[in-house]
A and B are shown apart, each in its own frame.
Chain A
Amino acid sequence: MTTPTDRIEKKLLLRAPRDRVWRAIADAKAFGSWFGVRFDGVFAPGAHMTGTVVPTQVDAEVAKTQKTYEGARFEVTIETMEPQRLFSFRWHPFAVDPKVDYSGEPTTLVVFELQDATEGTLLTLTESGFDGIPLARRAKAFSMNEQGWTGMMPLIEKYLAQTS
């Protein structure tokens, strides 16, 4: 059953060819450079790997903020890879507390879908399955993110103002 609290969907027009976008998403190293993570494996269907949070190489100011989570590790399992079209993986959202074993908890599914658009590539991102995440964790994650990300909002707004 899908409730209003179960999923997130984002659509974004990227002024870049589909092939370039695909490589930025489906390659572990490229993905890590913008997301701010280093994986210990190569993206392939069914592959299971650990990511370590590192400051992003794309934006120096944001990198500074990400220092808070530097070194945090999380597990990712790649689900589907349909070249140029669809990339998906499962993970434990906010699984950044080193004292907690998240392996027994339900995961959320993150899906990147690419489509041609007149001026580039349309990216649709969905993350779903939040209703399955234990309640205590949802409340905790909420507070962690309030602390961790409130400071990012002015940066994001600044960035969006520049690019719009």
Chain B
Amino acid sequence: MPRRPSAAARPLGPAEAAPLFAALGDETRLRLVSNLCKSGPTSIARLTEGTDVTRQAITKHLRVMKGAGLVRASWQGRESLWELEPERLEDARRWLDVISKQWDAALGRLKKLVEG
């Protein structure tokens, strides 16, 4: 079936989506995403603060996320700052868009029924 071609809205294929969800599918990593959402570019030291996760573990998680294209690092002096790749997070949200469209369709039918 034809789908409106738009590079920006191109849906991820399952082969591409799986590593992305794998990268997000860990509580520590989800918390990192949440923290980076709130604070913007952040050092590993700050990301480790107030958690019982070691600096080494955080670094490892960030590398996994970097591998999935979820985060990127930049250097500031001797410290690296980590931030989200907003586009990639958008991909994860696209999965919800699919479910979201199903609800649109179902609710459209509900509307037709109750208004008819």
Contacts and interface: CB of A to CB of B under 8 A. Distances in A.
B93 A149 contact: no
Given A8-B99, A142-B98, A136 B109 contact: no
A58 B113 contact: yes
Contacts of B108: 156, 159-160, 163
Task: Specify the main secondary structure of chain A where it touches its partner.
Answer: helix
B35 to A, nearest CB: 11
Contact of A8 (B18, B103, B115): B103
A68 to B, nearest CB: 12
B65 to A, nearest CB: 13
B30 interface: yes
Contact of A145 (B24, B30, B102): B102
Contact of A3 (B30, B104, B112): B30
Nearest to B90: A4
A1 B112 contact: no
B92 interface: yes
Contacts of A160: 108
Interface stretch (B7-15, B45-53, B56-64, B71-79): B7-15
A149 B97 CA distance: 11
Q: How large is the interface on A (under 10, 10 to 19, 20 to 34, 35 or more residues)?
A: 35 or more
Contacts of B111: 12, 14, 163
Contact of B17 (A93, A123, A142, A153): A142
Contacts of B93: 4-5
A64 interface: no
Nearest to B3: A150
Given A16-B115, A138-B21, A93 B106 contact: no
Nearest to B96: A8
Nearest to B103: A10
A103 interface: no
Given A5-B92, A156-B108, 18 more contacts: A3-B30, A4-B92, A10-B104, A12-B107, A25-B110, A30-B113, A36-B106, A36-B109, A56-B109, A59-B109, A93-B99, A135-B21, A136-B18, A142-B12, A142-B17, A145-B99, A159-B108, A163-B112
